Structure 1
Amino acid sequence: MISNKAKYAFRALLSVAALPEGETITSAEIARRHAIPHKFLEQILLDLKKAGILESRRGKSGGYVMLRPSDTVSFGEILRLFDGPLAPLPCLSRQAYRPCDECESEALCEIRREFGRAYDASRRILDNRTLADALAGAPATPLTGKEERLVG
């Protein structure tokens, strides 16, 4: 499961990304629209600013805007930002790799192999789906062969 923080980040980002170019939205408006605790949302928006995804503008027409185009922001990137590595096992992680203590051989590990197949399929989807795809309602590229059975 993804954390509430990640869910709120997705809701906030989709709200900002849906705006016409140059328009802003305040954190208070995002919080109101999505029933997100305002103080919690402010921390999330700050994390998104630090990551170079959002920009905040001050003044009468201030608020948040996308710093990067929505078609360059993937669901995988945001999920990693808020929830850490996507891998279900530490031996599968590309960013936080460590061998499992009890494993004698990664090459022969049935658990690693099966979870690796499922992880590869989900990672591919999350890393290829963007905010723009979600806003456009674009269908995901179908998986092929055995991978469809793993995800479906």
Structure 2
Amino acid sequence: MISNKAKYALRALLAVAARPEGEALTSTEIARTHAIPHKFLEQILLDLKKSGILESRRGKAGGYVMLRPADTISFGEVLRIFDGPLAPLPCLSRNAYRRCEDCENEARCLIRRELARSYEASRQVLESRTIADALRDGQDPAFAAPERRAG
């Protein structure tokens, strides 16, 4: 299960990425439109900025814009930023591998073998699906850019 922080980060990224290129979206607009507590959202946006995904702009037309193209940001990347490793067991993690404390033999561990199957399938989807894919395939009009919304 993903954390609320990761879910809100994905909502915020989808909202910002749906805007025409270079058009900023304020944290207030994101919070109000996507039901995210504003103070919590501000920390999430700061983390996305520190990660090199978003950029903030000051001034009248200020707010947040994409620093990287939406088609280069996978769901897996965002989940790792907010929730850490995707693997259900530390011995399956590619980025944070750690042998299970009570493990007798990884090669013969049936739990590891079975969880590895589901993890690999999930990891492939999360790494291959991007923010741009979700927007392109999505049906939620709340994420549509103004000129794409049904009038």
Q: Common fold, TM-score beyond 0.5? A: yes
Aligned partner of 1:17: which letter?
A: A
Aligned partner of 2:96: which letter?
A: A
Q: TM-score, normalised on structure 2?
A: 0.89
C-alpha distance in 2 between matches for 1:99 and 1:13: 34
The answer as to 2:60 corresponding to 1:66 is: no
C-alpha distance in 2 between matches for 1:8 and 1:22: 22
C-alpha distance in 2 between matches for 1:7 and 1:101: 30
Aligned partner of 2:50: which letter?
A: K
User: RCO higher in 1 or 2 (8 Å CA, sep ≥ 6)?
Assistant: 2
The answer as to 2:83 corresponding to 1:112 is: no
Tell me the residue number matched to 1:9. Answer: 9
Tell me the residue number matched to 1:100. Answer: 100
Tell me the residue number matched to 2:125. Answer: 125
C-alpha distance in 2 between matches for 1:36 and 1:22: 23
Query: Shift in Å at residue 22 of structure 1?
Result: 1.1
Aligned partner of 1:87: which letter?
A: A
Matched ranges for 1:3-152 at <5 A? 3-137=3-137
Q: TM-score, normalised on structure 1?
A: 0.89
Q: Name the SS for the 2:122 alignment partner.
A: helix
Which segment is superposed worse, 120-129 or 96-105?
96-105
Query: Shift in Å at residue 100 of structure 1?
Result: 1.1
Query: Shift in Å at residue 24 of structure 1?
Result: 0.6
Aligned partner of 2:26: which letter?
A: T
C-alpha distance in 2 between matches for 1:101 and 1:39: 38
Query: Shift in Å at residue 35 of structure 1?
Result: 1.5
Q: Name the SS for the 1:13 alignment partner.
A: helix
Q: Which ranges in structure 1 are unaligned for 5 or more consecutive residues?
A: 139-152
Which segment is superposed worse, 125-134 or 92-101?
92-101
Query: Shift in Å at residue 97 of structure 1?
Result: 1.2
Q: State the 4+ residue runs in structure 1 displaced beyond 4 angstroms.
A: none
C-alpha distance in 2 between matches for 1:122 and 1:43: 27
C-alpha distance in 1 between matches for 2:101 and 2:23: 51
Alignment length (residue pairs): 138
Identity of aligned residues (%): 77
Q: Which ranges in structure 2 are unaligned for 5 or more consecutive residues?
A: 139-151
